[in-house]
């Protein structure tokens, strides 16, 4: 039976320390090439700039440097053409590239790894990737904001019930509602921009954890790779994954905002509301109910937000117990971050498309304001403003009038003046001037309010802000 046991295979990349090899299980749990090969562009770019620095500081010869750079350029073309053979035995993207470089140019390839470690190399690759993801998120959010601004401008005077506790509260404009999400995504953009600023320090040169004795120029590689400066502490450099956590934290908060809008779109599009109609591009049908138009894209945006939050939680849990500096646990950072980046990119693109395509049914929105005594606050404000009563007393009077209208089966403007005066004798005919939803909305002219005139001002300001 022992004949069937697979013996450990040697791994020459680890040098002379190990006489034996790794088992198949160890190879499988240790390898990251299946997912970190996505970093090939960042890895090759970082290696090229590291090579240039080694030449400039006379650590390696110009001849070797030229050969290395040409070899790396060839490898990038091979990967992009689908001609590169990735090997799990070589563990990760760094070793796969280095092994292929050795095949192309021979022993000179080994000089590339002078004055660096896989620890600072992967940190650099990963930072470059997350930095690009921050930029892409910012651009995607801007596109979504533009879509929201357009919908807000088109519907600056379309009246919709505003809810608290999912109960009719006060009338607002749909344009105002759209601009609420514009503000959320403005904060999201600021978070991604802030995370990008903080991560923009170059890890190259930290080596394994202690720096290097070679006379490298870390400022050269930092500048060449678009970083603001080199990282200041080599131990922190190789153990830091704050940049990935910050990206996923920003993405998680933004995904919550997307999910909230998705939830509203699901509600608004159902037959019982009918506030919006979603296009065929972002809906599906039922396998047995031909009348249905299911808001699947919105539901998936809502569902996938949890996936992004889960990725953040996964990395937080991974990092919380790690002493300085690098531990293999940190290999688990990539899949969580890659999945968060991909998922976030997908849901923000889907939400942008849904906002752009959705058809607003203003008539149904207005009809929904006819129930729920939605101008009750306007009535209370009128009692305070015109009759001079304290708001708490006005609140009580209005509550009594709401109860009276509920028993009568009408809205507040369905009560007669006599009926109102039975509750408060000072109420005059002028009270009816505030009981229409149009006048209610038009009166909310405070800065950031829902009046159509104010919404148009905020639309103009939003266009300037983005």
Residue 403: both structure tokens together: 């109860």
State yes or no: is 286 an active-site residue.
yes
Residue 56: both structure tokens together: 């400039």
From the candidates 61, 281, 286, 453, give the one annotated as an active-site residue: 286
308's enclosing H/E stretch is helix 296-319
Contact by Cβ (8 Å): 273, 362 = no
CA–CA gap between residue 227 and residue 124 (Å, rounded):
10
Count the Cβ atoms, other than its own, within 10 Å of residue 453: 13
318's enclosing H/E stretch is helix 296-319
From the candidates 165, 213, 287, 446, give the one annotated as an active-site residue: 165
CA–CA gap between residue 156 and residue 159 (Å, rounded):
8
State yes or no: is 257 an active-site residue.
no
Cis peptide before 139 (omega within 30 of 0): no
160: helix, strand or coil: strand
Contact by Cβ (8 Å): 431, 381 = no
Give the residue among 334, 341, 314 at the shortest CA–CA distance from 37. Answer: 334
Q: List alpha helices for 155-295, DSSP H.
A: 174-199, 218-224, 234-239, 242-269
Cα separation of the two ends of the chain: 70
Contact by Cβ (8 Å): 6, 20 = no
Active site residues: 165, 286
């Amino acid at each position: 039976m022992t004949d069937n046991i697979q013996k450990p295979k040697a791994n020459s990349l680890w040098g002379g320390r190990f006489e034996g090899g790794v088992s198949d299980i160890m190879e499988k749990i240790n390898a990251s090439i299946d997912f970190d090969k996505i970093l090939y562009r960042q890895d090759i770019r970082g290696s090229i700039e590291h090579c240039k620095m080694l030449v400039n500081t006379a650590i390696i010869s110009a001849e070797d440097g030229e050969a290395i750079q040409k070899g790396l350029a060839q490898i990038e073309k091979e990967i992009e053409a689908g001609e590169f053979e990735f090997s799990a035995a070589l563990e990760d993207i760094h070793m796969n590239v280095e092994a292929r470089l050795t095949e192309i140019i021979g022993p000179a390839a080994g000089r590339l790894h002078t004055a660096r470690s896989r620890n600072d190399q992967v940190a650099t690759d990963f930072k470059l990737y997350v930095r690009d993801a921050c930029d892409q998120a910012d651009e995607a959010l801007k596109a979504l904001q533009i879509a929201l601004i357009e919908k807000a401008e088109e519907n600056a005077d379309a009246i919709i019930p505003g809810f608290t506790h999912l109960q009719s509260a006060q009338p607002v404009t749909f344009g105002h509602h759209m601009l609420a999400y514009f503000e959320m995504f403005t904060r999201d953009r600021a978070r991604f921009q802030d995370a990008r600023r903080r991560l923009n320090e170059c890890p190259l040169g930290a080596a394994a954890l202690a720096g290097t004795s070679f006379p490298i120029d870390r400022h050269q590689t930092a500048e060449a790779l678009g970083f603001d400066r080199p990282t200041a502490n080599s131990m922190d450099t190789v153990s830091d994954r704050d940049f990935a956590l910050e990206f996923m934290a920003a993405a998680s908060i933004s995904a919550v905002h997307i999910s909230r809008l998705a939830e509203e779109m699901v509600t608004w599009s159902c037959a019982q509301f009918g506030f919006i109609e979603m296009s065929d591009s972002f809906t599906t049908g039922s396998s047995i109910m031909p009348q249905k138009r299911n808001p699947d894209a919105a539901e998936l945006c809502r569902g996938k937000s949890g996936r992004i939050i889960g990725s953040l939680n996964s990395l937080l849990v991974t990092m919380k117990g790690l002493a300085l500096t690098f531990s293999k646990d940190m290999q688990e950072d990539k899949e969580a971050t890659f999945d968060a980046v991909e998922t976030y990119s997908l849901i923000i693109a889907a939400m942008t498309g849904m906002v752009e395509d959705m058809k607003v049914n203003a008539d149904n929105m207005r009809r929904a304001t006819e129930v729920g005594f939605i101008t009750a606050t306007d009535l209370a404000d009128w009692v305070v403003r015109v009759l001079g009563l304290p708001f708490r007393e006005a609140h009580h009077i209005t509550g009594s009038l709401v109860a009276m209208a509920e028993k009568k089966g009408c809205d507040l403007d369905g009560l007669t003046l006599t009926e109102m005066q039975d509750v408060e004798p000072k109420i005059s005919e002028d009270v009816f001037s505030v009981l229409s939803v149009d006048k209610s909305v038009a009166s909310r002219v405070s800065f950031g309010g829902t009046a159509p005139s104010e919404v148009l001002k905020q639309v103009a300001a939003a266009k300037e802000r983005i």
